[in-house]
């Protein structure tokens, strides 16, 4: 099943969609099997550049897509060493039959057994290539290396790591110290992170978290938790959260201040998730399905004291949570996203009241979507100035052990553009 998922991602499907389709097509899949399929799919895509090079070295004639994916998932399982190697090889051979290509059973068997015999040399050769060593497409490696000559290897390494599970404590319901005491009483190891964050030592299902259903905590990366504080909304303000789904930042804003909030997103299915998030936490906001590049179509002539623009982007800063992103994105996507970001900035700036502030945010590490985008915006809008923020001082938060990669720029709308 995992090989089908990997093959679909290689064909252009998102990992979430491919997993959902695999489970739907297979009917009643037991929870342990679902977990195993998901783990193997994620692991294979996390190491895709490496195992892809290995598959190239082992297969003298390129196999069809599903068999290639089968080889890659089997190699990933063999490298993990969680089960007997012979059992893994036998299961891969059986899977070739289930894929409807029984004639390739001998090929799969021969390739995997050759890998076991020559593993050290084959892995060394794969590691000698950039894609094999850094587990990213070459164009991505080149761009990160050019943009961050001192940090590029750590950025790529962070994108290949397992992400932490971080919670945000809802201060309307409890305190962080109080919640950490509840975790300790439940035998859940955790540590404080940031202003309201709690990092769990080990990920766990949200339904097993004390107080989750009651709205005491939400799952949110520590880097994403910076947004609401940077926006600086205070009681009585009108606040717009644009491109708001799934609603975590909207909720955090409401945790920090009593404001009149509007959350808009263009995707109706994702807007439903905003409502679910707010309902669980006990908050109320105007939730709208709409195109943020055309605000008049959903808000008329309304203007706002604060606007959070969490812009669509390549998501290059959160690749460790979505390992398929590295292989679904193309270099030309950066310019496509930058064009959308520009349109959003220009449209929403007109809805910011004089003296108000807009926080421009992405989960990208590519400068064209971040600092370069903001510089171009400032050149078009003389009434805008970029304010200094404490963290991250440059605006660019690079992915690291405790947080994903984000960019923030706080923009002030001056009363007098000439002043």
* pLDDT tens by residue, 307-336: 999 999 999 999 999 999 999 999 999 999
Residue 64 is predicted with a pLDDT of 81
Which residue from 321, 354, 110, 92 is spatially nearest to 220, judged by alpha carbons?
321
**Cβ neighbours of residue 212 closer than 8 Å, sequence gap 6 or more:** 206
Whether pLDDT at 102 is above 70: no
What is the average per-residue pLDDT within 358-378? 98
Tokens encoding 343: 């349109």
Phi/psi-derived region of residue 28, left when phi > 0, alpha when psi is between -120 and 50, beta in every other case? beta
Domain locations in the chain as residue ranges: 2-132, 166-219, 226-413
CA distance 129 to 122: 12
- Residues 232-275 have pLDDT tens digits of 999 999 999 999 999 999 999 999 999 999 999 999 999 999 99
Whether pLDDT at 418 is above 70: no
- Residues 29-63 have pLDDT tens digits of 787 888 889 999 999 999 999 999 999 898 877 77
Tokens encoding 64: 């069809």
Residues across the chain: 419
- C-alpha of 380 from chain center: 30
CA distance 25 to 17: 12
Whether pLDDT at 417 is above 70: no
Output b/e per residue, 340-373; b: 16+ Cβ within 10 A: bbbebbebbbebbeeebbbbbbbbbbbbbbbbeb
Task: Please give the sequence-ordered ranges of beta strands (E in DSSP) within 123-216, or none if there are none.
Answer: 166-169, 190-193, 197-200
Tokens encoding 97: 């039959």
> For 54-68, 278-292, 385-399, which range has the lowest pLDDT when averaged over its residues?
54-68
Tokens encoding 207: 């339904």
Whether pLDDT at 82 is above 90: no
* 363 included as an active-site residue: yes
Confidence of residue 84 (pLDDT cuts 50, 70, 90): confident
Q: Do domains 2-132 and 166-219 have the same CATH topology?
A: no
| The one catalytic residue among 243, 299, 313, 363 | 363
Which residue from 373, 173, 381, 135 is spatially nearest to 182, judged by alpha carbons?
173
Q: CA-CA distances (angstroms) from residue 127 to 70, 120, 121, 418?
A: 21, 11, 10, 56
Residue 282 is predicted with a pLDDT of 96
Residues 398 and 365 sit within 8 Å (Cβ to Cβ):
yes
Residues 77 and 40 sit within 8 Å (Cβ to Cβ):
yes
Residues 351 and 302 sit within 8 Å (Cβ to Cβ):
yes
CA distance 261 to 99: 51
Residue listed under structure tokens 């179509």: 297
What is the average per-residue pLDDT within 61-81? 88
Beta pairing class for 384-387 and 406-413: antiparallel
* Residue 44 host element (H or E): helix 31-46
State the CB neighbour count (10 A cutoff) for residue 23.
Answer: 17
Residue 235 is predicted with a pLDDT of 98
Tokens encoding 149: 């000559």
Say which CATH architecture domain 166-219 belongs to: 2-Layer Sandwich (3.30)
CATH of domain 2-132: 1.10.940.10
What is the average per-residue pLDDT within 12-23? 90
3-state secondary structure (DSSP) of residue 403:
strand
Residue 312 is predicted with a pLDDT of 98
Best CATH choice for the domain 226-413 from the list 3.40.50.300, 3.40.50.150, 3.40.190.10, 3.40.47.10: 3.40.50.150
What is the average per-residue pLDDT within 76-83? 85
Residue 24 is predicted with a pLDDT of 85
Q: Read off φ and ψ for residue 357, nearest 5 degrees.
A: -135, 140
Whether pLDDT at 415 is above 80: no
Residue listed under structure tokens 């190699």: 75
CA distance 399 to 316: 10
> For 21-25, 67-71, 186-190, which range has the lowest pLDDT when averaged over its residues?
21-25
Whether pLDDT at 100 is above 90: no
DSSP β-bridge partners for residue 407 = 362, 396
Bond from prior residue into 34 cis (ω within 30 degrees of 0): no
Residues 238 and 259 sit within 8 Å (Cβ to Cβ):
yes
- Residues 133-162 have pLDDT tens digits of 999 999 999 999 999 999 999 999 999 999
Residues 414 and 385 sit within 8 Å (Cβ to Cβ):
yes
CA distance 196 to 217: 10
- C-alpha of 392 from chain center: 19
Kindly report the average pLDDT of the chain as a whole number.
94
Residues 137 and 319 sit within 8 Å (Cβ to Cβ):
no
């Amino acid at each position: 099943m995992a090989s089908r998922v990997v093959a679909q991602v290689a064909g252009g499907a998102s990992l979430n969609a491919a997993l959902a389709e695999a489970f739907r097509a297979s009917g009643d899949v037991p929870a342990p099997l679902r977990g195993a399929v998901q783990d193997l799919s994620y692991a294979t895509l996390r190491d895709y550049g490496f195992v892809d090079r290995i598959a190239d070295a082992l297969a003298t004639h390129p196999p069809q897509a599903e068999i290639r994916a089968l080889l890659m998932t089997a190699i990933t399982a063999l490298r993990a060493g969680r089960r007997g190697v012979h059992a893994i090889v036998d299961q891969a051979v059986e899977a070739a039959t289930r894929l409807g290509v029984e004639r390739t059973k001998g090929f799969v068997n021969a390739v995997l057994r050759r890998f076991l015999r020559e593993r050290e040399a084959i892995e060394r050769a794969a590691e000698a290539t950039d894609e094999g060593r850094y587990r990213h497409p070459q164009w991505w490696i080149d761009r990160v290396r050019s943009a961050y000559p001192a940090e590029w290897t750590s950025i790529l390494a962070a994108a290949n790591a397992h992400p932490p599970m971080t919670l945000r404590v809802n201060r309307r319901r409890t305190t962080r110290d109080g919640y950490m005491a509840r975790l300790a009483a439940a035998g859940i190891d955790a540590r404080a992170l940031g202003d309201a964050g709690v990092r769990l030592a080990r990920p766990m299902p949200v339904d097993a978290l004390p107080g989750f259903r009651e709205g005491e905590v939400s799952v949110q990366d520590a880097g994403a938790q910076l947004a609401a504080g940077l926006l600086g909304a205070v009681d009585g303000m009108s606040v717009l959260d644009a491109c708001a789904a799934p609603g975590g930042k909207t909720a955090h804003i409401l945790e920090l201040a009593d404001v009149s909030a509007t959350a808009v997103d263009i995707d109706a299915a994702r807007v439903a998730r905003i409502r679910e998030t707010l309902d669980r936490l006990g908050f109320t906001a105007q939730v709208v399905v709409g195109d943020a590049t055309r605000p008049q179509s959903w808000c008329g002539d309304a203007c706002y004291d604060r606007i959070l623009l969490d812009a669509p982007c390549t998501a290059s800063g959160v690749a460790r949570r979505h390992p398929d992103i590295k292989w679904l994105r193309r270099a030309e996507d950066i310019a496509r996203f930058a064009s959308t970001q520009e349109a959003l900035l220009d449209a929403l700036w007109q809805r910011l009241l004089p003296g108000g502030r807009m926080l421009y945010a992405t989960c990208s590490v590519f400068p064209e979507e971040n600092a370069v985008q903001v510089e171009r915006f400032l050149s078009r809008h003389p009434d805008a100035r970029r304010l200094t923020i404490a963290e991250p001082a440059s605006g660019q938060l690079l992915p690291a052990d405790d947080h994903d990669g984000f960019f923030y720029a706080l923009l002030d709308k001056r009363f007098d553009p000439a002043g």
